[in-house]
A = this chain, B = another copy of it.
Amino acid sequence: MANEYVRLKEQLKKIKSLSSIVALLEWDQETMMPHKAGSMRAMQLAELKHLVHQKITSRTYENALAKCIDVLTLKPRIKGLDLRNQANLKLLAEEFLKAKKLPSRFVKELATHQSQSTQAWAQAKANNRLTDFLPYLTKMIDLMRRKADFLGYDEHPYDALLNLYEPKMTIKSVDELFHQLIPGLKKITREAMKKGPGASNLSWTMSAEAQLQLCRSLKNSLGLSDDIARLDTSNHPFCESLHPLDIRMTTKIKPEAPLDAIGSTLHEVGHGLYEAGLPIDECELPGGEYCSLGVHESQSRLFETFIGQSLPFMHFLCRNLSSHIPHADPQTLYRHVNIVQPSLIRIESDEVTYCLHIALRYQLEKELIEGTLSARDLPEKWNALMQSHLGLVPPNDATGCLQDIHWSSGLFGYFPTYALGNIYAAMIYEHLQEKFPELAQLIAAGNFTPVVRELTENIYRFGKEKKPQELIESASKRKLSCQPYLNYLERKYLK
């Protein structure tokens, strides 16, 4: 392999070492860190992130990269690289160019505003006073438009933001998908509601220790053994991956809601399996990084809902639970975790109505960015869309347009990836059902190895080599469409 490429990779390895430490600091902050260490942790994180940023924008790195590839024309300057590494080089050059497009004065201004804005949002939400947050939101929208301008776009400024999280995805594609998805979901919701919940609330408690033990054993059953992955508890469940051999997930445990802890464990394990399946020998390169947020979410939703809320999984679960609830009944659990009930809060919503929440946010943030909606008019439009999509009107802004942190921290273009994740997952699940006619039996037996192997082979191992749509289409052997998702929901809730 060319010396220039080896030297470039040496630099990237050092950067990866440091950025993986950032992940550890963040994990520790939410799981292990003594409470009073908070302000010192903020300093540690700021300093380390600053160092990482310095390194990836340094002249040293730029020179090392430029010896391997012409950053502007994307023409390789070294010979004998295989296709995979040619792709790595091209992606590195693109990332570098993207980083260079944002002036450092702008990056600093945005970071400062993010910090102030999320604090203002938290305060405004706690006090249910949207007006306190509006100036921050207005400024953030302005910053987002400027960011889009810096990054550049063909048709719509929103595309520039969306592409940060879902490369090559456009408003056009998302609009097309949602155009079919929204009426479909509304129809399924209506009809499922007519059928009635089919289950009363399950009253069932389990000690925190027993829940954690159970969730850890689920993690292991799904293929994330203790020698590469941990599961702990935190206030908000998450998955931080330092690299494919050090994956840290959390779940949230409440004694009265063991099924919630199980659900969030399966969600994070889905993320963790993806991270564990990325090629470790490329962990400093784009080939060792996840493809997109949508693809990531497809894996978490695949294991949380498609597999984890299926009847066969309830059979597997009941065998695991027998020491905790002697007469655990798969049908009862299945009905309980699959109640359809429109709700005001996105993160509490069920499988059917979840994407309606996303569609609402997508619609609003698109208009905010293009300027057809002003921040001031947000609550009115929010409430109207809630009424139209979910038949509910929030009693206040705290449970309405103030509920999510995303906009306050500048994550415009992020929401659609949640819906894309479900759409992708349905495509993959349909493929899995064809590929493994015995899928239900495998799940009921707790044998997830064939599924994880299939996902590794067709999704995980590619890293960023393919773009999201291409990756999902080739892995699922289907064209991008929300039909599999709608079919899955119809079969599950209406048949």
Residues of B within 8 A of A36 (CB): 227-228, 245-246
A21 at the interface (CB under 8 A from B): yes
* Chain B, Cβ-Cβ closest to A225: B34
A39-47, A90-98, A334-342 - interface stretch: A39-47
Task: Determine whether the beta carbon of A13 is less than 8 Å from that of B246.
Answer: no
Residue in contact with A17 in the complex, picked from B18, B43, B227, CB distance below 8 Å = B43
- Complex: how many Å from CA A35 to CA B245? 9
Query: A24-B28, A40-B246 in contact; A47/B17 too (CB < 8 A)?
Result: yes
Task: Determine whether the beta carbon of B230 is less than 8 Å from that of A40.
Answer: no
- Complex: how many Å from CA A22 to CA B48? 12
Task: Determine whether the beta carbon of B28 is less than 8 Å from that of A44.
Answer: no
Within 8 A of B (CB), among A14-32: 14, 17-18, 20-21, 24-25, 28, 32
- Complex: how many Å from CA A25 to CA B36? 19
Task: Determine whether the beta carbon of B34 is less than 8 Å from that of A230.
Answer: yes
Residues of B within 8 A of A228 (CB): 34-37
Query: A36-B228, A36-B245 in contact; A44/B20 too (CB < 8 A)?
Result: yes
A229 at the interface (CB under 8 A from B): yes
Residues of B within 8 A of A457 (CB): none
Closest-CB distance, A211 to chain B (whole angstroms): 16
Residues of B within 8 A of A34 (CB): 226-230, 245-247
* Chain B, Cβ-Cβ closest to A226: B34
- Complex: how many Å from CA A226 to CA B226? 26
A494 at the interface (CB under 8 A from B): no
A242 at the interface (CB under 8 A from B): yes
- Complex: how many Å from CA A35 to CA B246? 9
Task: Determine whether the beta carbon of A226 is less than 8 Å from that of B17.
Answer: no
A243 at the interface (CB under 8 A from B): yes
A33 at the interface (CB under 8 A from B): yes
A51 at the interface (CB under 8 A from B): yes
Residues of B within 8 A of A242 (CB): 37, 40
- Complex: how many Å from CA A20 to CA B363? 45
Task: Determine whether the beta carbon of B43 is less than 8 Å from that of A21.
Answer: no
- Complex: how many Å from CA A46 to CA B245? 18
Interface size class of A (residues with CB under 8 A): 20 to 34
- Complex: how many Å from CA A46 to CA B48? 15
Within 8 A of B (CB), among A217-250: 226-230, 242-243, 245-247
Q: What 1/0 mask marks residues of chain A from 380 to 421 whose CB sits below 8 Å from any chain B CB?
A: 000000000000000000000000000000000000000000
Closest-CB distance, A38 to chain B (whole angstroms): 9
Task: Determine whether the beta carbon of B32 is less than 8 Å from that of A226.
Answer: no
* Chain B, Cβ-Cβ closest to A283: B40
Task: Determine whether the beta carbon of A21 is less than 8 Å from that of B48.
Answer: yes
Residues of B within 8 A of A28 (CB): 24, 28
Query: A47-B18, A51-B51 in contact; A243/B24 too (CB < 8 A)?
Result: no
Query: A40-B243, A243-B40 in contact; A230/B32 too (CB < 8 A)?
Result: yes
Task: Determine whether the beta carbon of B35 is less than 8 Å from that of A25.
Answer: no
Closest-CB distance, A269 to chain B (whole angstroms): 14
- Complex: how many Å from CA A226 to CA B20? 27
Residues of B within 8 A of A20 (CB): 40, 44
Of A17, A48, A243, the most chain B CB neighbours within 10 A belong to A17
Residue in contact with A21 in the complex, picked from B21, B35, B226, B247, CB distance below 8 Å = B21
Q: What 1/0 mask marks residues of chain A from 239 to 268 whose CB sits below 8 Å from any chain B CB?
A: 000110111000000000000000000000
* Chain B, Cβ-Cβ closest to A50: B14
Closest-CB distance, A483 to chain B (whole angstroms): 40
Residues of B within 8 A of A246 (CB): 33-34, 36-37, 40-41
Residues of B within 8 A of A17 (CB): 40, 43-44, 46-48
Residue in contact with A245 in the complex, picked from B25, B32, B37, CB distance below 8 Å = B37
Residues of B within 8 A of A48 (CB): 17-18, 21
Other than the given A21-B48, A28-B28, A37-B246, 6 more pairs (CB < 8 A) read A34-B246, A35-B228, A36-B245, A36-B246, A37-B242, A41-B246
7 contacts between A and B (CB under 8 A): A17-B40, A17-B44, A21-B21, A21-B44, A32-B32, A34-B246, A37-B242
Identify the 6 closest CB pairs spanning chains A and B, nearest first.
A37-B246, A35-B227, A17-B47, A36-B245, A17-B44, A36-B227
